[in-house]
């Protein structure tokens, strides 16, 4: 019985960490981004963006606030989010695919809070970035190499790419940097690669990288990882080439011997 409880606690912990967000089980990373639309929280967490800030966040990433129609187009292909966000022209809403009692008032469709008179209200943001579609991807194979667009030539300005990696349950992901060269900047605010030890780019922030120093290998704590590459409006560089491999669960008495960064805890080093 104790063993069973423990196992349940373990599985539940894992499910909370990887499967659930805002009370919705995400069993498909496809749903995190659909038809060019994606959800964005402020750095400080949920419901922290005024209209002007939400707009700036999307524009900073090379897109703009999604229109109601763009959000509905994404919803129609399965985009479901239980978080209200700013849309174009000061509208607020969120897309519901599966009706639930804890979200969306049991309805399906866009839950529409209408055009807000008070634009200082704080919500999340729904961005639309059609250019983000031609880079990034979703990988489920046990190893893969991915590159900045046009590699080995320089990447372009105003690019945002997301790579989602999902390997088999129980496996971990090892990230190896083969080539790395992004515009150098002290806080990596210009061009950067961000790595997340989770299925999205909200939770599990591991690090932000720029410059031309090859980062150390990274190993995830779970079977999913997200990488985000962003370039701003000026100055480009050679880009990167990154390989990942799926690692089988380690043997009981295995020891670590290289300089790999094993992520501590579910969400790594913030
Ligand atoms: C607008 O919303 C903000 C944030 O919720 C609030 O502090 C402020 O009082 C509101 N302004 C008006 C005029 O209702
Ligand atoms: C632990 O590893 C050693 C070799 O490194 C091996 O000889 C031994 O059988 C292993 N023990 C267990 C319990 O797997
Ligand atoms: Ca740049």
The closest residue, in CA terms, to atom 4 on ligand 1 is 121
Q: Does the pLDDT value for residue 189 go beyond 60?
A: yes
- Ligand number nearest CA of 192 is 3
Residues 217, 176: Cα–Cα separation, whole Å = 5
118 pocket-lining for ligand 1 (C-beta < 6 Å):
yes
Looking at residue 87, its pLDDT comes to: 98
Q: Which of 40, 10, 6, 14 is nearest to 267 (CA)?
A: 14
Is residue 85 within 8 A of residue 123, CB to CB? The reply is yes
Does 218 have pLDDT greater than 60?
yes
pLDDT in tens, 3-16: 444 444 433 333 33
Between residues 186 and 209, which one has the greater pLDDT? 209
C-beta of 120 in contact with ligand 1 (< 6 A): yes
Residue 117 CB less than 6 A away from ligand 1: no
Helix (H, G, I), strand (E, B) or coil at 111: strand
Query: Helices (DSSP H) in the chain: which residue ranges?
Result: 2-14, 51-60, 68-76
* pLDDT confidence of residue 5: 43
Residue 30: per-residue pLDDT: 44
Alpha-carbon separation of residue 69 from 6, 102, 138, 238 (angstroms): 46, 24, 25, 37
Torsion of CA 95, 99, 102, 105, to 10 degrees: 80
Nearest-angstrom CA–CA distance, 15 and 64: 33
Place of tokens 């599966």: 98
Q: Among the bound ligands, name the one nearest to the CA of residue 257.
A: 2
Task: Report how far ligand 3's centroid is from the alpha carbon of 161 (Å).
Answer: 14
Distance 85 CA to ligand 1 centre (A): 17
C-alpha–C-alpha distance, residues 90 and 114, integer Å: 8
Segment 27-83, tens digit of pLDDT: 334 445 677 898 887 766 789 999 999 999 888 777 899 999 999 998 887 788 889
Mean pLDDT, residues 199-211 taken together: 87
Among 1-10, 150-159, 201-210, the range scoring the smallest mean pLDDT is: 1-10
CA dist 177 and 145 (Å) reads 10
pTM of the model: 0.52
CA of 115 to the centre of ligand 1 (A): 15
């Amino acid at each position: 019985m104790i063993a069973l409880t423990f196992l349940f606690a373990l599985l539940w912990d894992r499910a909370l960490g990887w499967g659930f967000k805002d009370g919705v089980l995400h069993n498909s990373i496809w749903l995190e981004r659909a038809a060019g639309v994606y959800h964005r929280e402020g750095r400080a967490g949920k419901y922290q963006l005024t209209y002007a800030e939400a707009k700036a966040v999307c524009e900073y990433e090379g897109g703009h606030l999604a229109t109601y129609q763009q959000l509905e187009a994404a919803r129609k292909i399965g985009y479901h989010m239980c978080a209200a966000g700013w849309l174009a022209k000061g509208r607020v809403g969120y897309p519901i695919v599966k009706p639930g009692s804890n979200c969306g008032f049991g309805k399906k469709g866009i839950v529409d809070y209408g055009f807000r008179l008070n634009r200082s209200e704080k919500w999340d943001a729904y961005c639309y970035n059609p250019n983000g579609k031609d880079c990034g991807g979703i990988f489920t194979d046990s190893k893969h190499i991915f590159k900045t667009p046009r590699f080995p030539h320089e990447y372009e300005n105003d690019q945002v790419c997301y790579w989602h990696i999902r390997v088999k349950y129980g496996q971990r992901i090892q990230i190896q940097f083969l080539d790395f060269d992004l515009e150098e900047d002290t806080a990596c605010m210009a061009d950067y690669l961000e790595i997340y030890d989770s299925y999205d780019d909200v939770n599990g922030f591991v690090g932000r990288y720029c410059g031309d120093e090859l980062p150390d290998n990274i190993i995830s704590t779970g079977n999913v990882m997200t990488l985000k590459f962003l370039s701003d409006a000026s100055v480009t560089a050679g880009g990167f080439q990154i390989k990942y491999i799926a690692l089988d669960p380690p043997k009981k008495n295995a020891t670590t011997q290289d300089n790999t960064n094993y992520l501590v805890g579910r969400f790594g080093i913030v």
